[in-house]
Amino acid sequence: EAGVAQSPRYKIIEKRQSVAFWCNPISGHATLYWYQQILGQGPKLLIQFQNNGVVDDSQLPKDRFSAERLKGVDSTLKIQPAKLEDSAVYLCASSWGHEETQYFGPGTRLLVL
């Protein structure tokens, strides 16, 4: 079974630029999550989708972050404009349902200069 795929693996941008990350969950997984992991900290949930609907986006900085999950499969997370403090690893995870075990992708490491 293929795992959660994410791209790109690394991204370096300058502040005020825009960036987008892509996630392809495990086939059949209805629930998809985006986490932000700042260096030296545990992951923090940004947004959770159930199929193509948002379940929880209470910790998403909506003035600059946006996410979508068209057709309930792949998802993109966008930052516009980026700030220095957005430097982090962005992890995508998926699960069969919202009560099931989450499986994580390898993450995208973002460096904002």
For residue 79, the tally of other CB atoms under 10 A from its CB is 22
Alpha-carbon 92 to chain mean position:
5
45: closest CA among 22, 30, 61? 61
Residues 28-87 that bind another protein (CB under 8 A): 31, 33, 40-45, 48, 55-56
**What is the distance between the alpha carbons of residues 73 and 28, in angstroms, rounded to a whole number?**
8
Residue 25, interface with another protein (CB under 8 A)?
A: no
Q: Which stretch binds another protein (CB under 8 A): 21-29, 64-72, 75-83, 103-111?
A: 103-111
Question: Nearest approach, Cβ of 9 to another protein (angstroms)?
Answer: 9
Kindly state the DSSP code that residue 35 receives in the 8-state scheme.
E
Contact footprint for another protein (CB under 8 A)? 3, 31, 33, 40-45, 48, 55-56, 89, 91, 93, 95, 97-107, 109
